[in-house]
Structure 1
Amino acid sequence: MDLCPDDLLAHLDDTISRLGVEDSGLPERAAAESGATCLYAVYDPATRRCTMARAGHPPPVIISPEGDVSIPDLPAGLPLGVGPASFEAVDVELPEGCVVAFYTDGLVETRHQDIDAGIQRLGAVLARPDRPLDELCAAAFDTLPARALEDDATLLLARPRSLLPSQIATWDLPNDPVVVAHARALATAQLTGWGLEALVATTELIVSELVTNAVRHGAGPITLRLIRHEVLVCEVTDTSDSVPRLRHARPTDEGGRGLFLVAQLASRRGTRNSPAGKTVWAEQEINPPLS
């Protein structure tokens, strides 16, 4: 559904509560005998920004390239399914070369050690970000006494990478119908510079439709962004929170085929909302598989 982390946790919480009521036939609070914890994070390699929210789960541990350990100030929230809850997302900028640790409480909390001490122990073990991730994982578990594994213990380490400035092209455009042709020209010039001439025709159509929708149905200034990585991503952002809807136009309809066309040309597409508006995006394979 391409939701922000806090919205996704709220949606998941509602789903779990509803399923609990349907399965048990009991009132909502009585249906949830125990809750599940969750930590959800979305990382943008173009900006190095990581947006996180948690539902009663231990916070992540971030190890800087210099080995400094920090824990984001991330509101805990209630576990999923235990009752009405609200969740809050926090943005964290991750430095190049850092390591981020996600883990279950079984790794840091035992009968003989509280969770804060366990998190400090985990951070101290991981404060060698230059080492391979599998070695860091092994070292973290090697520090646990045999009796400590009284609960499931899981550790996930990530070393986020960022995109080079040469892989990203961004333009701020006015909300004006005449800007559509200019947006196509900007995209064409950028793809030519990247050596992606084979994708010019399809990208022009995608850019035209997404920018036209932003002008027609959105509000405020428009941002067009192209990202070249393993795939080519086209993003159009505006300040409206209305989500475009894919329609199946009838033969007699004059319009309504734009997003359907984008869906046919793109390998993946979607819409993600933010407090400032929405971003409609479409991906294309740079080297499409042979049919």
Structure 2
Amino acid sequence: MTTVSPHAPWSCALHLPHDRLAPRVARMTLRAALAGHGMADRVETAELLASELVTNAYRHSRGPAALRPRHMEGDWLRISVWDTNPHIPAPFDRRRHLTLTPPPDATSGRGLLLVQQYADNWGGYALGDDLFGRGGKLLWCEVAPPDFTEAA
């Protein structure tokens, strides 16, 4: 059931503590936001992407994080995750695509490969220190509308 106009632009922000449960909270919140805005058709992909980005923030920073889903022009969905570590990992640094896969018995190292594979666009940038000295980085990815086809 859509609770608001599915065509109106919207965004929300979820501030997350540095906690191992942050990815789960992010998935649950994103699922509710997308259902409420008539975007349930993108929940599975969006949850995977958000979970991987928030997990990356938890594993590679020591501070809080924030998740911001946003409905964009053309019915695209952008998922942004801020954290306190200013390092931009590949492929978000746009210098190279990730091509190496971790060994089969590795317990980590696949998250950003999944983002690269399932997102329709992605990027990231370091943030200078704000008034509160937080700085860090913002990684984002986008999910195209279900009927999107790229022009040749």
Give 1:290 shift. 5.9
Q: Which residue of 2 aligns with 1:76?
A: none
Among candidates 216, 229, 236, match of residue 81 of structure 2:
236
Among candidates 31, 38, 54, match of residue 195 of structure 1:
38
Say which structure, 1 or 2, has more relative contact order (CA 8 Å, 6+ apart). Answer: 2
Residues of 1 paired with 2:32 and 2:136: CA distance? 27
- Which residues of 2 match residues 22-171 of structure 1 at below 5 A? 167-171=10-14
Give 1:221 shift. 1.4
Opposite residue 50 of structure 2, the aligned amino acid is V
Give 1:251 shift. 2.9
**Across the two proteins, how many residue pairs are aligned to each other?**
127
Does structure 1 residue 249 correspond to structure 2 residue 133? Answer: no
Normalising to structure 1: TM-score of the pair? Answer: 0.41
Indicate the percent of aligned positions where both proteins have the same amino acid: 36
Residues of 1 paired with 2:36 and 2:89: CA distance? 31
Stretches of structure 1 lacking an aligned partner (at least 5 in a row): 1-163
**Cα pair 1:238 1:277 within 8 Å, conserved:** yes
**Cα pair 1:218 1:242 within 8 Å, conserved:** no
**Cα pair 2:87 2:126 within 8 Å, conserved:** no
Among candidates 114, 117, 135, match of residue 264 of structure 1:
117
Secondary structure at 1:195 match in 2 = coil
Give RMSD over aligned pairs.
1.9
Q: Which residue of 2 aligns with 1:208?
A: 51
Q: Which residue of 2 aligns with 1:70?
A: none
Give 1:242 shift. 1.8
Opposite residue 235 of structure 1, the aligned amino acid is S
Residues of 2 paired with 1:178 and 1:255: CA distance? 17
**Cα pair 2:41 2:146 within 8 Å, conserved:** no
Secondary structure at 1:169 match in 2 = coil
Secondary structure at 1:184 match in 2 = helix
Opposite residue 136 of structure 2, the aligned amino acid is G
Q: Which residue of 1 aligns with 2:65?
A: 222
CA deviations 1:77-128 (Å, max 9, x no partner) are: xxxxxxxxxxxxxxxxxxxxxxxxxxxxxxxxxxxxxxxxxxxxxxxxxxxx
**Cα pair 2:116 2:122 within 8 Å, conserved:** yes
Opposite residue 233 of structure 1, the aligned amino acid is R
Q: Which residue of 2 aligns with 1:277?
A: 136
Opposite residue 277 of structure 1, the aligned amino acid is G
Q: Which residue of 2 aligns with 1:87?
A: none
Opposite residue 169 of structure 1, the aligned amino acid is C
Q: Which residue of 2 aligns with 1:184?
A: 27
Give 1:287 shift. 3.1
Residues of 2 paired with 1:185 and 1:193: CA distance? 12
Opposite residue 237 of structure 1, the aligned amino acid is W
Greater Rg, structure 1 or structure 2?
1
Opposite residue 86 of structure 2, the aligned amino acid is D
**Cα pair 2:81 2:138 within 8 Å, conserved:** yes
Give 1:274 shift. 0.9
Opposite residue 186 of structure 1, the aligned amino acid is T
Q: Which residue of 2 aligns with 1:286?
A: 145
CA deviations 1:157-210 (Å, max 9, x no partner) are: xxxxxxx7x511111110111121111000000000111111000111111110
**Cα pair 1:232 1:285 within 8 Å, conserved:** yes
